[in-house]
Chains A and B, each alone.
Chain A
């Protein structure tokens, strides 16, 4: 007899979200570390038990919310998200700041929520949670730069969320369905939804938030950030907009754009952030190509990218963790390779992976997208993607490690000794595991190809293909060798499209703090003088007519005297008038002075009564 165990407890997103809520309760440190690793493990088991289909659907306000739409596409992203959650948590085990772990878990949970969302409202809810949870991974770095960058980050994402929501509402009103699936491109609703998606995918010119904020995040937070936001955006693009030609062009341009900026960059994690943009370009391009090969390539590349990019951020994060320095200009010539050789070796594995060196995982996924571009015979797309490959190898695998671990300081610069050692063992183990996966997938691409949405008829290890890739990379290395002395870092930043909101933002701030502030002071002064005058005049309202007459008289006389010249006796007369005016203003109301006989009151009453009678008489006729 077969025993069917129905394990269908909660959606994987909620495993992490509930885990996030429980972390602060676990006070004992060792126990908490165990708990942090247990949660991804439970989620992974959860994923393994989920068959294809739709689970966890609820009715809410007349709409159907679906928390578990499971098919090959969502499972593939689900697997890699949970794997990187485990590796990232391992890397962050030494961190004592519980808030960072809570934020990371919420962030992972919301990314999984997006992955398995079957309707647009669930998607949107997790989309917003993701933005808010992730910003704490930046803010918890707790310095001014991180705080500022975090605010810019969250504002861009809130804007993106609003655009997405607008698109969703129009879409739901037009079609009457909240189902999240293929969206036909064309019309306002689809354009707004696409815009919301590509803001998160960091497609230029809407990409600046990424390179602005990720390098300011905590060392361990950046590892998570590198994995989830952009890749969940790639997932929703794959789901909703496969084959939209615009995306093909944007993706190819984006791949080269990121590479060009990375070559100029001095901050090591910002350099890698530009390479996220570049690599996501391949995925977006694959979505735009839209053939089975292109879509498979996009998913495969997202899978591999998450692994090697996390490893790259782990390697540079380890350097920042032990040295406290984050720029090539502060690290070159300090010979760190002697002090942290293991870290360097593991970083290089990630470098080879992102560059697509054969036997590493980038080779088996990136080349799928390039081959898909070949499959549609598009010369510019093919060349742009090749160019991006060259730049990727150049920056991440040659220039960055050379500048960080080796390098020569400029002539005349004083080189102080840096105390450096290998990072804590949990960091190294996490890096080792990630490196193992990079090589494993590179050597046995079947494990990856078998979980892709479409069946794969692609053989990356054809001899010609390997030779061509090696030629491309080796001659890139040759150029690096030729120019090696000219490639030291420069202590500069590069202007990017965030200029368009940072500079006008500063201008707005200046406008508020200077002209607008002055206007406020002026108005306040005017109003308070008016109030003071009214207060002073109301001390004796009976004298008001006289004060008014004297004031006007005084003004006219003084104006006239000013026009026709001022002789000594006239001046004397003017002073006399002024002093009399001042004297009269000083008189306060004294009821004994102004008391009228009782007959005056009676007279007033009679007059009013008469007027009332008169009006009544006239009206009643």
Chain B
């Protein structure tokens, strides 16, 4: 199960890269839409930014014990 899932993922990464390489947007709105795999890079970095950002925010500021409001 886990192995099939991994294959599916690898194949779809490869496919999306290939398609992304050959099909370019006709009227790009922003400069990065001309860069191949820009969305992959954005997805990777954006996700790290979000996770690390919210972990830091939660750990140092926002997260409290579950009974914070009850005492």
Which residues does A use to contact B, with CB under 8 Å?
A: 259-261, 263-264, 374-375, 377, 379, 382, 386-387, 390-391, 394, 462-480, 483, 487, 490-496, 502, 506
Contacts and interface: CB of A to CB of B under 8 A. Distances in A.
30 contacts: A263-B51, A263-B55, A263-B58, A264-B54, A264-B57, A379-B30, A386-B46, A391-B47, A394-B51, A463-B19, A464-B19, A464-B23, A465-B25, A466-B19, A467-B16, A468-B33, A468-B39, A470-B15, A470-B16, A471-B16, A472-B43, A474-B9, A475-B41, A492-B58, A492-B63, A492-B66, A493-B66, A493-B68, A495-B63, A495-B64
B8 to A, nearest CB: 10
A355 to B, nearest CB: 11
Contacts of A468: 20, 33, 38-39
Contacts of B49: 387
Interface in B14-71: 15-17, 19-20, 23-25, 29-30, 33, 37-44, 46-51, 53-55, 57-58, 61-66, 68-69
A260 B54 contact: yes
Q: Considering the complex of A and B, which 8 residue pairs feature the smallest CB-CB distances, nearest first?
A: A475-B43, A374-B29, A470-B16, A467-B19, A467-B20, A471-B40, A479-B47, A472-B43
A169 B55 CA distance: 45
Contacts of A470: 12, 15-16
A478 B39 CA distance: 13
A394 B50 contact: yes
A369 to B, nearest CB: 14
Interface of B: 9, 12-13, 15-17, 19-20, 23-25, 29-30, 33, 37-44, 46-51, 53-55, 57-58, 61-66, 68-69
Contacts of A375: 29
Contacts of A463: 19, 23
Contacts of B41: 475
Contacts of B30: 374, 377, 379, 382
A620 B63 CA distance: 89
A471 B47 contact: no
Given A386-B42, A474-B16, A377 B29 contact: yes
A502 B40 contact: no
B19 A490 contact: no
A494 B24 contact: no
Given A474-B9, A493-B63, A464 B43 contact: no
Contacts of B54: 260-261, 263-264
Nearest to A375: B29
B23 to A, nearest CB: 4
Contact of A477 (B9, B17, B57, B62): B9
A469 B33 CA distance: 12
Contacts of B61: 495
A465 B54 CA distance: 29
Given A263-B51, A390-B47, A470-B16, 12 more contacts: A264-B55, A264-B57, A386-B46, A471-B17, A471-B20, A472-B40, A474-B12, A479-B43, A479-B44, A479-B47, A492-B66, A493-B65
